[in-house]
Chains A and B, each alone.
Chain A
């Protein structure tokens, strides 16, 4: 019976050397790597340069504006992550920021001109909405889809790497999916940081996995209607919430002037 009881040897006794606590092992690995190869990713610091969004309430929540040199991800709020046609205010918010960038006509501390780019994966940008939002259309570069997921990333990467634009909006309603290779996002993040370009990612399809991204959420929005039901009723605007940094701000949107058809 005594022989039937086998004593299980612990790991150090199996001749693998002295067992090191996890932190010491990690520190040892880090010390052996070349300097500068590894650095801590992290949250947004207060003193990071900002790009104003054009909306005071949004800038308040963001702490001054979108973070330059980072991917700023605008997600639909209210738990809505499904692909669909939800009104959340993301496009309105993105166009307001584009208008803020393209209409800057005075001397700016930025070394870039008032240029913005919109990589539109599914050709959903409405030029008239952009005009009514106050965008100077001549300063907006539109890469219109339909684009594949790979084309969308490649176009965004080319624009970011050029360093010619102050703002790049990456919009793709029908993608990319959560199975996107993280290397694509990493490349975009590195180019954004290197060229100090502000990136707005307007996309409902993914939840995270983007290195160094700054997240904000907006919506859902509900319509503001006026008049009697029937032909006399008009859509005057919409209202919703914007959230960032655990701070909520109300966004009120209005229908632009001259909303004509035909």
Chain B
């Protein structure tokens, strides 16, 4: 990465801030050159290394706007029509870029910037201004910060140029001055900008035309114009730009709060009718989302997927992991399960995926208590188990206060952290430790209960025929009558029995008095 500086000393003590003047702090500007092209390459990495051109405009007004190096190499240039480009290079890929894809890239740039500085302002749709004053404790030099910021943006799928200067617009000029990290040292801004083209100041079209007619082509030439009468001759905008060319930045930094929305979008020029390639592309989008959210020290707590169908329509899907987690593998597995349960009715032309961000689960251990499991690892594990067994089948067992024939429920697994284990899942029941060496005889349930045919003497079962449970009843206890749900349209009334079948074991049975049906609910094992 190229590093261009004039004179070091930028990260020194700033001047005092005075009201109404430029803030003499330190600013960095990160620009994404060719934002639309980079956004497309970020959402569809398969195009990397291929001859690709992005068009702007529609119909007969469409023109090539941005091209990759591979496209340049085979003769495609900005300004060509698509037909011209194809005639020059038949193998060229020509795409227009969905606004949502560009917006996702722009938001990714903002997210990275917010992870570096609390004062971030988006500019011109392709850059951000960061207030980096006072950060010399973290980054001893602009070069260090520039390297870190470049790496962070690369991790988010974006290639940037960075400039450092004492003002926001000067920082943008520094970034535009060349690739890599550029620094305008204090007091030498004019010298550094001298060779830059006049267009770097982004003047209005009419002013630019007038200055060109006067033979002024560079920032340096413009800065050397006499200040007296400049405003009368060229207008107030020229005054502001003239000051900028001399290194005086009147621009105010206007930081924006970080966005709470994390969204990625993929728009395809073909349709997907198979789950696997869709999952593959979703994996990439979730990776990009997770990187953005992790940069803000948060984790996805819910995923909202909106599939765009061919030729029209949408198919929404929502998944919620058991705990906020950045484990993309678990999230993809959950989405796969959801899509298998509710597949899209038509082929998919694209999708947008929005993540709700939550704070990662944290735990404070106790000095004298048992060890506490790593919450992040636990969240990942629960997510993977949920993807295997289903959301409703992973958690802690719970004994409801009114059971009836309900075998019990599952509640979210959330072991208490620290201290002694006094928390009860259901406070109405207490856990009495059984006596040592006399364990409590446990029931192992049959789900669903096994239907059986029972011969009775009075109310007592004497023999059972129920598949592998057939045999003579040698002991029985009961009946214990119970009824429930009598206030509903499906009342339950029946009797429980404990029976021992000769040579088979002890079982719990249920005799449904409403339908006169017998069932074996479980075995004492």
Contacts and interface: CB of A to CB of B under 8 A. Distances in A.
A231 B433 contact: no
Contacts of A137: 396-399, 424-426
A54 B439 contact: yes
Given A112-B371, A125-B397, A262-B482, A151 B389 contact: yes
Interface string A90-127: 11110110010011110110111111000000111111
Interface in B461-520: 468-469, 475-480, 482, 484, 496, 498, 500, 504-507, 520
A211 interface: no
A58 to B, nearest CB: 9
Interface residues of B, number: 82
B385 interface: yes
B248 interface: no
Interface residues of A, number: 89
B477 A235 contact: yes
A173 B523 CA distance: 12
A132 B438 CA distance: 12
A173 B460 contact: no
A261 B477 CA distance: 13
Contacts of A230: 460
A113 B371 contact: yes
A187 to B, nearest CB: 15
Interface string A248-259: 000111111110
Contacts of A140: 396-397
A112 B373 CA distance: 7
A164 interface: yes
Contact of A91 (B397, B442, B468): B442
B477 A164 contact: no
A129 B443 contact: yes
A107 B370 contact: yes
B397 A103 contact: no
B506 A238 contact: yes
B523 A251 contact: no
A127 B370 contact: no
Interface in B434-459: 434-447, 450, 459
Given A85-B520, A134-B433, A261-B482, A144 B389 contact: yes
A231 B496 CA distance: 11
B377 A164 contact: yes
A37 B523 CA distance: 45
A154 interface: yes
Contact of B441 (A151, A154, A253): A253
Most buried by A among B393, B424, B435, B482: B393
Interface string A194-236: 0000000000000000000000000011110101011101110
B371 A111 contact: yes
B394 A143 contact: yes
Interface in B77-105: none
Interface stretch (A22-30, A65-73, A155-163): A155-163
Contacts of B402: 262
B395, B404, B413, B445 pick with most chain A CB within 10 angstroms: B445
A147 interface: yes
B385 A124 contact: no
A128 B399 CA distance: 6
B372 interface: yes
A114 B394 contact: no
Contacts of A115: 373, 415
Contacts of B415: 113, 115, 138-139
Contacts of B450: 85
Contacts of A105: 369-370, 420-421
B176 to A, nearest CB: 50
A84 B468 contact: yes
A220 B498 CA distance: 17
Interface in B396-423: 396-399, 402-404, 407-410, 413-416, 420-421, 423
A233 B475 contact: yes
B396 A162 contact: no
A90 B441 CA distance: 10
Given A124-B447, A159-B381, A235-B506, A261 B496 contact: yes
A255 B477 CA distance: 13
B398 A129 contact: no
A165 to B, nearest CB: 8
Given A127-B408, A233-B475, A262-B402, 4 more contacts: A85-B469, A87-B504, A138-B396, A147-B388
14 contacts: A96-B434, A107-B368, A123-B447, A127-B398, A133-B439, A134-B432, A134-B434, A137-B398, A140-B396, A145-B393, A233-B475, A234-B477, A261-B403, A262-B402
Interface of B: 368-374, 377-378, 380-381, 384-385, 388-389, 393-399, 402-404, 407-410, 413-416, 420-421, 423-426, 429, 431-447, 450, 459-460, 468-469, 475-480, 482, 484, 496, 498, 500, 504-507, 520, 522-525
Interface of A: 54-57, 82-93, 95-96, 99, 102-105, 107-108, 110-115, 122-147, 151, 154-155, 158-159, 162, 164, 173, 220-223, 225, 227, 229-231, 233-235, 237-238, 251-258, 261-262
Pick the 9 closest A-B CB pairs, nearest first. Answer: A87-B505, A127-B408, A127-B397, A256-B440, A262-B482, A129-B442, A91-B525, A96-B439, A253-B441
